[in-house]
Structure 1
């Protein structure tokens, strides 16, 4: 049995001038653990370790874990050309959106590109919930339960229909959820603003 460990050091500035975000260059990290360390920046004690935190995971598989946040959708650069993206829904793990690995800084692109966010994310939501609502007991599957809880935060007070309900009822619920998601994040406005700005620049 072999163990493959990788590490990447990133900087978050100083106590007086902190950085609130940074990018990880190693795209092979799937669910990394993290540790915060504070070191001296003074010339006489440069690099002296002043304190450190316990390790935590960015995407915790536990329902309650301090310091970590649970992600319900992962993005993974992969060799899927000629397709730009592909949704991988597995039985016992959160869905993964595979992104053409040739796209530079793919993880940042999916979070910031207005076209991807406005046009692709709603399609991903539809595919995921079409699968979730086709199951007899989705609440018994941990990742599906997470998605149902997320849907309740987007569209509170409107529980999903059961798999035994009419197909049309399930589709309407998914469409209502997508509308609520798009409205909350102003997705149509963002894409219109981007296209309008590009026309002005010409």
Structure 2
């Protein structure tokens, strides 16, 4: 397997080898972390630890998940951060030496990325969800006319529909890719001087899925970029795995 070494001497970790999620714990924010089969957990010393660094609004915390070789693949480890709540923090995953003369040395690290949870439908999210009883036989509609974030209107005739939107992996897998495509197309097609503040938030989110420079001006290049972002979104949030898991249980 190819390894990438930065000029600092530390190994670069692939974020796709980790699955991180934030949850509300009893006393603060809970962090769940699991590793995939591609993470070379046995290539680090027994005295090193996997560490997640979170930062948001001048709040910073580092959470240690133990030695890499003890992390079970695809089995999440949960750690709670007392008295601190995070919503959409920046995060970085590192492997840090905790023994001997190299104590504190960062052996490997991922790039820093902002945390988004399925577009985060909450008050601080990239998209707002609202129940709408005027949709008739339509399940959902997307409103991009406002100066604030896009609004996903879902049929209010469905009981507890907003809970369903934020937690049902089947709904998310079927609807969110189309939502992503529509919003992305809208953002890319909007002239820079006409963009709203939320457009910048969305561009930042899109670049966490796939890094890209200037937006292609030709239709084929633009459509290709949107398809790559959609595929990356589906891969990052692993909807098929979540649906399969929910069916099994």
TM-score where L is the length of structure 1: 0.58
Q: Deviations over 1:127-162 (max 9, x none)?
A: 11111111221784211111001111222x323515
Residues 1:168 and 2:223 are matched in the alignment: no
Q: What stretches of structure 1 move > 3 A for 4+ residues in a row? A: 17-21, 191-195
For residue 243 of structure 2, the aligned residue among 185, 191, 196 is 191
* C-alpha contact (below 8 Å) 1:138/1:144 kept by paired residues: no
Deviation at 1:20, TM superposition (A): 6.9
Structure 1 unaligned segments of length 5 or more: list them: 1-11, 22-57, 60-67
For the 8 Å contact 1:85–1:98, the answer to whether it is kept is yes
- C-alpha separation between the residues in 2 aligned to 1:69 and 1:83? 25
Counterpart selection for 1:158 from 212, 226, 229: 212
Q: Tell me which of the two structures has the higher relative contact order, counting C-alpha pairs closer than 8 angstroms and 6 or more residues apart.
A: 2
Tell me the number of residue pairs that the alignment of Structure 1 and Structure 2 aligns.
136
Contact residue 73 and residue 97 of structure 1 kept, 8 A: yes
Q: Which of 191, 196, 199 pairs up with 1:136?
A: 191
Residue 168 to residue 91, structure 1, CA distance change in 2 (3 Å): farther
Over aligned residue pairs, what C-alpha RMSD do you find?
3.1
Q: Secondary structure at the match of 2:181?
A: helix
User: Whose strand proportion is higher, 1 or 2?
Assistant: 2
- 1:17-166 paired onto structure 2 within 5 Å: 18=27, 70-79=124-133, 80-137=135-192, 140-155=195-210, 157-159=211-213, 161-162=215-216, 165-166=217-218
1:109 CA drift (Å): 0.3
Deviations along 1:32-77, one digit per CA (max 9) or x if unpaired, are xxxxxxxxxxxxxxxxxxxxxxxxxx99xxxxxxxx9732100000
Task: Please give the TM-score of this superposition, normalised by the length of structure 2.
Answer: 0.48
* Separation in 1, partners of 2:204, 2:28: 31
Kept in 1, the 8 Å contact 2:148–2:196? The answer is no
* Structure with higher helix content: 1
Gaps of 5+ in 2: 1-23, 31-86, 89-121
What's the counterpart of residue 27 of structure 1? none
Distance in 2, Cα, partners of 1:122 & 1:137: 24
CA distance in 2, matches of 1:96, 1:193: 29
